[in-house]
Amino acid sequence: MTNQFEYPSEAACRSVLIKLGMHASQLDCYPQDWEYLMADETRLSDYIDLYQQSETTDQEKRVLGCFVIQSLENLLPTMISEQQIRTCLAMLWDDRVIHAHEFEY
């Protein structure tokens, strides 16, 4: 049985971009690991806010989880606060079924 959350979907990413006020044409799913390459660490709080909205679907959370993880990685050299890291990881851990692929990786 294939895990429905193994790969982020293009449709969910389009939806996330629109909800973030970005144009869906910015989606480029051709490079490998596009779900990480598209992350913009300056928008980490936007990703978290959207993730925590009750209307955000599990598929959208899958995309946002990748954005959050990559943003944290990008911010580590700038000394992001340990509390912010813990908050993000706890949020993702609460939905560990959705993010199992990243946690395994």
Split into its structural domains, the chain has a count of 1
Asked if residue 87 is part of any domain, the answer here is: yes
d(C-alpha 7, C-alpha 74), whole Å: 21
Q: Report the pLDDT value the prediction gives residue 39, as an integer from 0 to 100.
A: 85
Q: What residues make up the domain containing 49? A: 10-104
- Considering only CA atoms, give the Rg of the chain: 13
Asked if residue 70 is part of any domain, the answer here is: yes
Asked if residue 1 is part of any domain, the answer here is: no
Place of tokens 């990413």: 13
Asked if residue 53 is part of any domain, the answer here is: yes
- The 10s digit of each residue's pLDDT in 1-47 is 346 667 777 888 888 888 988 876 666 666 667 777 788 899 999 99
d(C-alpha 54, C-alpha 61), whole Å: 11
Residue 52: pLDDT over 90: yes
Asked if residue 4 is part of any domain, the answer here is: no
